[in-house]
């Protein structure tokens, strides 16, 4: 069991949205926290995103409540009123302001919360007492195959960082991605926390893609309650990056229908932005993803993906190098023995594609997965 950091408690329950598993989570601190969040830029942002973005404007929060299997997106003023009621009712139980409660939802778009069931549970809602982060991670799952929870220690202190996340489909971040909640008992000023969390998110959650589709509910929030005392901000950032990157890799490996994790490394770019642009083009290409799924060492599909970044006019194909694993495929051709080794490599569970652009020293690594028949089946039957 991975326990939450000191001062945090969880309540996990089934309120009747899912038939056979928990679907309602509260994680609360026993004291106010510094908190920072990043959210989807989708024009169809859900009520939870709209309200939570507003609640975090002052840089503080004390709890998060998550409703799973219902996104509460495209539900109008009724949906927003329901999300506000949820925050208010949880705040009453905790004895804090409704503005100190973050709300998150995930699941089917266009359906109102089943408020009769939620209210019935809120009427008897106990104060959170649990400490098991894995139970909370399991309860926020939708089509995930396993809970995603990671912990790290903050060097030079007794403070810990614990993160939970869900997300396996509709994953192409635009500011944040999926649902991710990070809790720490470290004491740190809000400005430091905000900067360091956003950097960690940009290098982790913002570098994962399963299917190129940006969610309407993307939310990533960090809570720091200070119970373990002051820490070195640099040490905390290392722990935040460790937790968010490990969660990112879990999401990529658990992509809907995925059989392999795909890691794309681009270096020699003009800057990080160009490296990320090219890497995302590769990891998001259905042709690249299906080649990886079929263990087909077709490096031409990688060249195609690089080439369609046509606005990157300083990329010259004569300077580009493409590798699968540690095997160069372009510009140096591979013989029959090399292709056989590559096919064997591509049958593994973790495939790395590396591209050197030969422009400068920018670098970025992104994470994704292959594209299988399983992805089609899961999403063809999602609401039925």
pLDDT in tens, 173-184: 665 558 999 999
pLDDT band at 143 (very low <50, low <70, confident <90, very high): confident
Whether residue 213 has pLDDT greater than 80: no
Mean pLDDT over 281-306 rounds to: 95
Whether residue 57 has pLDDT greater than 70: yes
Smallest CA-to-CA distance from 186 within 116, 124, 235 is with: 235
Residues marked as catalytic: 177
| Segment among 98-112, 246-260, 317-331 with least mean pLDDT | 246-260
Whether residue 383 has pLDDT greater than 70: no
Contacts of 302 (CB under 8 A, 6+ apart): 282, 288, 322, 353, 355
Whether residue 75 has pLDDT greater than 80: yes
Average pLDDT value over all residues in the chain: 93
pLDDT band at 51 (very low <50, low <70, confident <90, very high): very high
Q: Please name the residue that has the structure tokens 């004291």.
A: 31
Neighbour tally for 178: CB within 10 Å: 29
**pTM for this predicted structure:** 0.91
Q: Please name the residue that has the structure tokens 């059989």.
A: 259
Dihedral angle computed from the Cα positions of residues 124, 127, 131 and 137, in that order, rounded to the nearest 10 degrees? 50
Mean pLDDT over 310-327 rounds to: 96
Question: How far out from the chain centre does Cα 317 lie?
Answer: 33
Smallest CA-to-CA distance from 12 within 171, 149, 152 is with: 149
Tell me the pLDDT tens digit for each residue of 348-367: 999 999 999 999 999 999 99
């Amino acid at each position: 069991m991975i326990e939450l950091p000191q001062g945090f408690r969880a309540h996990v329950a089934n309120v009747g949205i899912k038939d056979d598993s928990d679907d309602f989570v509260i994680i609360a601190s026993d004291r106010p926290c510094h908190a920072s969040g990043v959210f989807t830029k989708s024009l169809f942002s859900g009520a939870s995103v709209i309200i939570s973005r507003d609640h975090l404007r002052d840089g503080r929060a004390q709890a998060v409540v998550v409703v799973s299997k219902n996104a509460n997106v495209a539900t109008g003023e009724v949906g927003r009123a329901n999300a506000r009621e949820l925050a208010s009712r949880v705040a009453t139980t905790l004895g804090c302001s409704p503005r100190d409660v973050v709300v998150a939802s995930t699941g089917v778009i266009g359906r109102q919360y089943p408020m009769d069931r939620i209210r019935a549970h809120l009427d008897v809602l106990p104060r959170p007492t649990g400490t098991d982060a894995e139970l909370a991670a399991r309860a926020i799952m939708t089509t995930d195959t396993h809970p995603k929870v990671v912990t790290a220690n903050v060097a030079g202190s007794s403070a810990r960082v614990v993160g939970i996340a869900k997300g396996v489909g509709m994953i192409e971040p635009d500011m944040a991605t999926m649902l991710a909640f990070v809790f720490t008992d470290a004491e740190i000023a809000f400005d430091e926390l905000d900067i360091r969390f956003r950097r960690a998110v940009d290098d982790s959650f913002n570098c994962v893609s399963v299917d190129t589709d940006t969610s309407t509910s993307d939310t990533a929030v960090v809570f720091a309650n200070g119970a373990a005392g002051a820490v070195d901000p640099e040490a905390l950032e290392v722990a935040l990056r460790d937790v968010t990157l490990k969660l990112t890799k879990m999401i990529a490996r658990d992509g809907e229908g995925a059989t392999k994790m795909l890691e794309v490394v681009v270096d020699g770019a003009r800057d990080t932005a160009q490296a990320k642009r090219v890497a995302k083009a590769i990891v998001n290409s259905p042709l690249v993803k299906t080649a990886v799924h079929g263990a087909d060492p077709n490096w031409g599909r990688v060249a195609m993906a690089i080439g369609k970044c046509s606005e990157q006019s300083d990329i010259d194909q004569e300077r580009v190098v493409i590798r699968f694993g540690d095997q160069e495929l372009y510009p140096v051709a591979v013989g029959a023995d090399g292709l056989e080794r590559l096919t064997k490599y591509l049958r593994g569970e973790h495939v790395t594609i590396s591209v050197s652009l030969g422009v400068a020293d920018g670098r970025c690594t992104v994470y994704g997965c292959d594209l299988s028949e399983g992805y089609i089946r899961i999403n063809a039957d999602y609401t039925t």
